[in-house]
Amino acid sequence: MAFLAPLFLTLATLVGVPLLVHLLRRKVGRTVDFPAVRYLTRMEQEHSRDLKLRHRLLLLLRLLAVLALALAAARPIAKLAGLGHAPVALAIVLDNSMSTGIIGNERSVFDSLRADVRGVLTDLSNDDRAWIVTADGRVIGGSAASLLESLNGLAPLGGRGDLAAATRRAVGLARSGSPRAPVVAIVSDGQRNAFTRDSVVNAGAVPVVILAHGTNSVRNRAVLAAAAEPARWTPSGTVTFAISAPDSSEWRVLLDGRTVARGAVASAPVGAPVRLTQRLASNSTGWVRGKVELDADALRADDARWFAVRVAPPPMVAVRQEGGPFLSAALSTLVDEKRLERGAEGAAGSVTVSGADAAGVRLPVLLTAPLDPVRLGEANRTLTRLGIPWRFGAIARNLVLARAASSDGAPLDTNATSVSVFEGTPVRLRYPLVYSPGGGAATGASAPAMPDTLATAGGSAWAVAGDGYVLIGSPLEPDATELPLRAAFVPWVLEALSRRLGEDGRLIEAVPGEHLAGLRGVTGLEGPDGKIVGTNSDRLTVPNQAGVYYLRRQAARVGALVVNPEPEESDVVGTGQGGADSAVTAMRTHITGRDVTPATSARAWRTLVFDRAAGHGLLLPLVALALAALLAEAWLARH
Amino acid sequence: MSQPRADQLDPTVLAALGHLELVARWVVEGFVTGMHRSPRKGFSVEFAEHRPYMPGDDLRYLDWRIAGRADRWVVKQFEEETNARAMLVLDVSASMQWTSDPARLTKLAYAERLAAAVALLLLRQRDAVGLVRFDATLRDVVPPRSQRTQWRRLMAAFSEPGGGTSSDVAGALLQAGRLVRRPGFVVLLSDLLTDPEPVADAARTLRARGHEVLVLHVMDPAERDFPESGEARYRDPESKIEVPASPADVRTTYQTTVQEALAEWRAALGRAGARYAVAMTDEPFGRPLRQLVGVNGRGAMI
């Protein structure tokens, strides 16, 4: 037997009161004159046996009443067969990942999962505590009635979510409900990759009951990837996309809702999708929403994939000789390809590319370190004049490898241009960049890892960027660094000129529910429906619905956030009824604990959940017992 | 509108209105008013006086001649020509001086007023009335007389203190019997917290001498009901014996025991030829008075 409020057990000491009164009856201090004592004496003589029995019965009933009330106050839980369940702290993990939106048997899998949860919630008693934790980490708590109401408002996510994190959180919640019996109940569509490969949840002593509620005959078509190249269309570019389909399928590419290309693909499994590239041109300018879509199937959420592209004239650039021949050659190539236009230095929208030691340059600039160390002072004076909070430090001539930096400590995307151009680049001559927001060069102090550090070399900042400037801590010469020889150098220069120094802004690709940081200057997020949601900091949680969202700085669009589901979520193998068991088995490998039990049906799941809390709250029976004892005592005293 | 009859009033209210003598007079007046018939119809009775006719009076006793001559409605009242002797035996032990409620009369106060009313009633009939007050011994003895001064003597005796630690009821009865030389009435007013057999034997002895023995068992309602007063040690004011009890637990058994004891008294005294009645100190004096004087029946005083 367990007690929900064991402190109240101390009330049981009150049983001593009637006992003491009974034992000390003959030592009662109060004396009352009563002439008819002879009747009392005679009564005791004639009815002593009855009176003794009566006294003992009264004592017993009083003791019973006090004891029952004390026990009831302590909220005991006892294992009584067939009398319901003990109070549970039940955390239900409801898988609402994108794949649960699949339609089967004329209803979505998510509706089935929700019905399963609803069944469990209706079995809860007032003594239970319950939470619903969804795959996106949302926690809903409250009474069974409020949970049922909240359940109706839930919908499948636009992405995968994180079922492992949700389970981890559910375990913590169930533990917090002590002394109720903690139980975690997971209901999922049984997708084989519901848990990411390396995720492990240790449930410890908390029982976990898993139900996979799949559907039959799943044939899913999906757009697994879609990306526009280059970053700025002038006004043409290419869209590359990947499609998986169990049978032939038609595809369409749309720009701002207008179909600009269409075609068909033969069958392609998820593991080997068909990759297509279309050269397109846009009639619109500015940010353009793009979408690659397929005909509707059972899982609608992955039938379309979004991309965004900036359509604008090529960026203008003015090149000075101090930037070095390699930079000049790279820019000439881009101008020849009409990706850039030459502009006059100081003209509106024109970016100046130069060595930092050049005189009279103005923002925006792409600056490189001077080749001649003698020019270092002149270079630092230029930085001071331009208000750039960095200074060139003392020259270093040892060979080091550059490292691409992450602004928020997140793992690097090695496919990104800004990463591939810097990561592992040999640097032989460099001027470590010193962060100096006050103006003077803080010699000897290492630069802190600032958010606009693009790359480091030898532990110091080597390439940095900020408002209106990109700064590289070496001259772009092969003797100093191999950066201008790298394949990604020219695309990086183009990106730097158009995105960092031009007006293109940022293009961020993310999955639903992802947390983004480093969004300085962003004041709002404009949704696909045109509604703008304000942001309070430089951090943002990516919306759960896929689409193209624009980053706003007041009235201006300063970038695009493209939200698409994870491609793995389109792999619905395992959601079939037969595959559900194997999926549960796979899930068990991700959840360790003393009691991790799969359920074969919704009914079995409910039974297993409450079996983990075998027992029954004895509050009402004990109160009833106390009342019965008091009534019997009153009756016996009266008669 | 007629006045309320004093013998039907709450004894506590009545006692609050006047002293013993006055209460006795009111009770007797009310009692006599309530007797609509002559107690001695057909026997040797003689005219005593007239009194105004009151609704309910028997029209047989209306004096038609006066009604015819003076147009006044009066009834004739008669006096009995008897010389009966009655001895009132009053228990004044400590137990009689107890009441469960300070607002209520003690058993002794109740019995005194009742005894005074009986005495007044008998003295008005020119009967001889005496009084014995006793506890463990005889405290006061007023021999029976029918003189007008007897009432004063009786009143003086009632004012004497009592309060002995025990009561010898049987002894007092026998002593009283000896004081009434000719067959008469011996009226015992006591709470009878003693054994019935000696009292019954004494009553039997008195009966053998030709006396009518009347026993009024005076009880406080609390002695009959044992109401809730909490867990306590209950002490006999005479013997000082203490018994712990909780009224809530034993009330029913106690009440059964009391009823058994009263039944024993009734049976024992009945076998001895004595009349027995119970008077509660919260009931009007009229009822026990009527039981004592036994209006118009065997052994009746009036």
- What's the pLDDT tens digit per position in A240-249? 999 988 888 8
What's the rounded mean pLDDT across residues A503-526? 82
**Would you state the pLDDT for residue A79?**
59
* Among candidate residues A310, A293, A289, the one with its CA nearest the CA of residue A302: A293
Coil vs helix vs strand at A316: strand
Q: How many CB atoms lie within 10 A of CB A566?
A: 19
* Percent residues over pLDDT 70 in chain B: 83
CA angle B11, B14, B18 (to 5 degrees): 135
Provide the pLDDT for residue B127.
82
Q: What is the mean pLDDT of residues B3-14?
A: 69
What string of DSSP letters covers A185-228?
Answer: EEEE---TTSS-TT--EEEETS-EEEEE---S-----EEEEEEE
The two tokens of residue A165 are 């994190």
Residue B203 has pLDDT above 90, yes or no: yes
Q: Report the pLDDT value the prediction gives residue B42, as an integer from 0 to 100.
A: 36
Name the residue in chain A with its Cα closest to that of B235: A33
Crossing angle, helix A619-638 and helix B247-271, to 10 degrees? 20
Q: Which among B95, B96, B234 is the top mutation candidate for probing chain A, defined by the most A β-carbons within 10 Å of its own β-carbon?
A: B234
**Interface touch A37/B242, C-beta < 8 Å:** yes
Q: Strand A524-526 and strand A532-534: pairing?
A: antiparallel
Q: How many CB contacts within 8 angstroms connect chain A with chain B?
A: 93
Torsion sign across C-alpha atoms A592, A594, A599, A602: negative
Peptide bond into A179 cis (omega under 30): yes
- Which of A49-63, A311-325, A444-458, B103-117 has the highest average model confidence (pLDDT)? B103-117
Q: How far apart are CA A592 and CA A605, in angstroms?
A: 19
Give me the residues paired with residue A91 across strands.
Answer: A131, A184
pLDDT at B50: 81
Complex ipTM: 0.78
Q: Please state, in angstroms and rounded to a whole number, the distance separating the CA atoms of residues A467 and A102.
A: 45
pLDDT at residue number B183: 83
At A415 the pLDDT is: 60
pLDDT exceeds cutoff 80 at A148:
yes
- Whether the per-residue pLDDT at B263 is higher than 90: the answer is yes
Percentage of residues in chain B having pLDDT higher than 90? 23
Adjacent-strand bridge partners of B51 = B75
* Res. B1 pLDDT band, cuts 50 70 90: very low
Amino acid letter for position B112: E
Three-state secondary-structure class, residue A559: strand
Tell me, what's the pLDDT at A169? 92
Chain centre to alpha carbon of residue B30: 15
**Encoded tokens for A318:** 């003015």
Suggest the residue from B231, B257, B262, B280 to mutate for an interface test with chain A (most A CBs closer than 10 A). Answer: B257
A536 touches chain B (CB under 8 A): no
Pair type for strands A222-229 and A616-617: unpaired
Measured between CB atoms, does A45 come within 8 Å of chain B? no
For A41-53, what is the mean pLDDT? 81
Per-residue pLDDT at B171 exceeds 80: yes
Residue A188, φ and ψ in degrees, nearest 5: -140, 165
Residues in B lying within 8 Å of A, measured between beta carbons: 94-96, 98, 191, 193, 220, 222-223, 229-239, 241-246, 248-250, 252-254, 256-258, 261
Q: Is A531 on the interface with B (CB under 8 A)?
A: no
Of A41, A30, A42, A36, which is closest to residue B220 (Cα–Cα)? A36
> A579 falls in which pLDDT band (50, 70, 90)?
low
Q: Do B254 and A55 touch (CB under 8 A)?
A: no
pTM of the model: 0.51
Dist CA A475 CA A284 (whole Å): 39
Comparing A109-123, A303-317, A489-503, B37-51, the range with the smallest average pLDDT is: B37-51
Please tell me which residue of chain A has the smallest CA distance to B98. A35
Q: Cβ contacts (< 8 Å) between A58 and chain B: which residues?
A: 249
Q: How far apart are CA A140 and CA A161, in angstroms?
A: 16
- Would the CB atoms of B257 and A55 count as touching at under 8 Å? no
At A6, list the tokens: 């064991």
Assess A21–B contact: CB distance below 8 Å, yes or no: yes
Tokens of A630: 């008091």
Binning pLDDT at 50, 70 and 90, where does residue A441 land? very low
pLDDT at residue A536 is higher than 60: yes
- Candidates A17, A27, A40, partner chain B, best to mutate (most B CBs within 10 A): A40
Q: Does residue A639 carry a pLDDT above 70?
A: no
Min Cα distance B233 → chain A (Å) is 5
The rounded distance, in Å, linking the Cα atoms of A234 and A177 is 60
Residues forming beta bridges with residue A236, ordered by sequence position: A281
Nearest chain B residue (CA) to A47: B253
Q: What pLDDT score was predicted for residue A53?
A: 82
Q: Min CA distance, B124 vs chain A (Å)?
A: 36
Label residue A253 by pLDDT band (50, 70, 90): very high
Residue A155, SS3 per DSSP = coil
Q: Is A236 helix (H, G, I), strand (E, B) or coil?
A: strand
Residue A55 touches chain B, beta carbons under 8 Å: yes
Cα distance between residue A523 and residue A533, in whole Å: 9
Residue A78 · residue A616 · CB < 8 Å: yes
| Residue B84 and residue B122 in contact, taking contact as beta carbons nearer than 8 Å | yes
Among A189-193, A456-460, A482-486, the least confident range: A189-193
Q: Among all chains, which residue has been given the structure tokens 């491609």?
A: A567
At A465, is the pLDDT very low, low, confident or very high (cuts 50, 70, 90)? Answer: confident
A83 phi/psi in degrees, rounded to 5: -120, 45
Q: Residue type for B226, please?
A: F
Q: What is the pLDDT of residue A409?
A: 53
Task: Give the per-residue pLDDT at B270.
Answer: 92
Minimal-distance CA residue of chain A relative to B225: A36
Nearest to B257 among A21, A42, A639 (CB): A42
The reply to whether A506 touches chain B by the CB within 8 Å rule is no
* Yes or no, beta carbons of A36 and B242 under 8 Å apart: no
- Lowest pLDDT segment from A173-187, A412-426, A584-598, B64-78: A412-426
A333-353 tens-digit pLDDT? 888 888 888 888 777 778 888
Interface of A with B in 190-229 (CB under 8 A): none
Measured distance CA(A529)–CA(B23) in Å, rounded: 104
pLDDT of residue A438: 65
Measured distance CA(A505)–CA(A553) in Å, rounded: 10
Pairing of strands A350-355, A365-368: parallel
Q: Which residues in A lie closer than 8 A to residue B248 (C-beta atoms)?
A: 637
CA nearest to A24 within chain B: B244
- Chain B residues with CB-CB distance to A630 below 8 A: none
Average pLDDT, integer, range A413-418:
64
Q: Does A35 touch chain B (CB under 8 A)?
A: yes
Is B212 in contact with B299 (CB distance < 8 Å)? yes
**Average pLDDT, integer, range A65-73:** 87
Query: Which of A25, A31, A39 is closest, CB to CB, to B242?
Result: A31
What integer pLDDT is reported at residue A490 of this predicted model?
Answer: 84
**Identity at A261, one-letter amino acid code:** A
Mean of the per-residue pLDDT values of chain B: 81
Note whether B236 contacts A43, CB cutoff 8 Å.
no
SS (H, E, C) B114-151: HHHHHHHHHHHCCCEEEEEEECCCEEEEEEEECCCCHH
Determine if residue B164 is left, alpha or beta; phi over 0 gives left, psi from -120 to 50 gives alpha, anything else beta.
Answer: beta
Q: Name A591's bridge partners.
A: A201
User: What per-residue confidence (pLDDT) applies to A47?
Assistant: 77
Considering only the beta carbons, identify the residue of B96, B235, B252 that sits closest to A34.
B235
Q: For residue A364, is the peptide bond before it cis, meaning its omega torsion is within 30 degrees of 0?
A: yes
Minimal Cβ distance to A28: which of B232, B248, B257: B232
Residue A391's CB is within 10 A of a number of other CB atoms, namely 24
Which residues in B lie closer than 8 A to residue A31 (C-beta atoms)? 232-235, 242
Which phi-psi region, left, alpha or beta, contains residue B233 (left: φ > 0; alpha: ψ -120 to 50)?
A: beta
From the CA atom positions of chain A, what is the Rg in Å? 37
Nearest to B98 among A33, A40, A637 (CB): A33
Chain B residues in contact with A36 (beta carbon < 8 A): 193, 223, 258
Strands (E) located in B226-302: 232-235, 242-245, 275-280
SS3 state of residue A501: coil
SS3 of A77-133: EECCCCCCECCEEEEEEECCCHHHHCEECCEEHHHHHHHHHHHHHHCCCCCCEEEEE
Q: Compute the distance between CA of residue B97 and CA of residue A308 in angstroms, rounded to an integer.
A: 111
> Exposure of A565 by Cβ count < 10 A (0-12 exposed, 13-18 middle, 19+ buried)?
buried
Is residue A578 very low, low, confident or very high in pLDDT (cuts 50, 70, 90)?
low
User: 3-class SS at A458?
Assistant: coil
In the beta sheet, which residues pair with residue A279? A238
CA A376 to chain CA mean position, Å: 47
Average pLDDT rounded to a whole number, residues A99-115: 85
Q: Reply yes or no on whether the pLDDT at B231 is more than 70.
A: yes
Q: What angle do CA A627, A630, A636 make, to 5 degrees?
A: 140
Indicate the pLDDT class of residue B38, thresholds 50, 70 and 90: very low
CA distance B163 to B238: 9
